Amino acid sequence: MVVDTDICGMKLGDQYPSHVMGIINLSPESFYESSVISPDSALDIALKMVEDGATFLDLGARSTWRFSEPISRKEELKRLLPVLEALEGNVDAVISVDTMFSEIAEEALKNGAQLINDVSGFTADPGMIKVVADYGCPAVVMASNKVPGDPLGMDAIIGSLDSIIQAAEAGGINPKNLILDPAIGRWTEEKLPIYDFETLDDFERLKIFEKPLLAALSRKSFIGDVLGKPATERLYGSLAAAAIAVYKGAHIIRTHDVLQTSDVVKLSGALRSRPSVVKEGRYEVSVVEVKSPQDAAIVMRKLGVTRTGSQVMQDKSVHLMLKISNLTTTEALIIKQEMLARGGDAALTRDAVSHETEATDVLVMGTLLQLGRLARKLEGQARSLPLIAEMIRECIANRSDLEYRYLR
């Protein structure tokens, strides 16, 4: 499961340095007013961004901020075309246009754009898939269901992206042309900061799609919520978030602050290790890491496993090691015996095995399926084992409980 692809002549993948996408903001309605530029200065700003390290430039003429005043598609195009004309052939970077509408995307592609960034994930305009397929251009698709960025939590984000990918491929888009964006930001009223915390914390889960990953987190509201600062004062928070995203697998960082972000991307990329893969002739062996049974089911489905088969096997895909402290020797030995009976194992002090101690800690090793079956078995046992069963379930559940993970 290694990403290695070419987007408009740019190498993107786990073995290449991550890229910086500079934001050229043409929408006065933007949440970050200081980033808005005039069309007359667009070329100079673009050239400076490229000099500072940007390899992608993303032009946006319609604010996607949920409190912004809407504009017409005619106005959006009117803002875009002069800047596209100024940039075409004059900057050494991939030119992206941030739009949700097929007619604007088509005009942009006719006038020098090379990539479409659709924050609705092809859900706002059914014609967008056809335009992207017809032009054979790459596209960034953001996790969305009914409105841009509405999935809540990483499970929902992964489910949304999975559906978008399937719809895109069914519509004729080359799978190698898709770049995935997990929709970090307060896109809807219901999307609280903890959802963005989870997305960034679990960013590596997106690797299951084997596609380039884009993180658009520059000066977003979750940074302001943590720091208590307005957009103009969120640079350092943005840089910290960018470092985490790259370290966890992002291939492109979309930013207002190209110079500072370029340094962060270089360093965090150098610290990120390459995934293990071995190739020999037509054979390849690679490590597949999954944190969630849902992710494993998607990986299996991509392989051609039936839906029923993937559901049966998904709980076998995640392996955990739990430490249970202060058990009696008898309780520890019962747990070891029950884990061995289910194909797992448990480690405990050798003095417990020989009954030379009355208490011991235990390391229990097994899949989610094995641990679940252990808990069910312990419910009917004596001593404190029913309580231990409840604690095992709660400990496992905490891994996906957002309030437990992020509310202090």
Q: Mind telling me the catalytic residues? A: 220, 254
Number of neighbouring beta carbons within 10 Å of residue 277: 14
CA of residue 152 relative to chain centroid, distance: 13
Among 217, 146, 137, 147, CA closest to 178: 137
Residue type, 302: K
Number of neighbouring beta carbons within 10 Å of residue 376: 11
Q: CA neighbours within 13 Å on the CB side: how many for 150?
A: 9
What are 329's two structure tokens?
A: 């020797």
Q: How far apart are CA 343 and CA 366, in angstroms?
A: 8
What CA dihedral angle connects 208, 209, 213 and 215, to 10 degrees? Answer: -70
Please name the residue that has the structure tokens 């993180």.
Answer: 215
Please name the residue that has the structure tokens 């690679």.
Answer: 286
Among 286, 251, 277, CA closest to 7: 251
Among 193, 215, 243, CA closest to 142: 215
What are 323's two structure tokens?
A: 């430490």
Q: CA neighbours within 13 Å on the CB side: how many for 217?
A: 30
Q: How far apart are CA 366 and CA 374, in angstroms?
A: 10
Three-class secondary structure of residue 326 per DSSP: strand
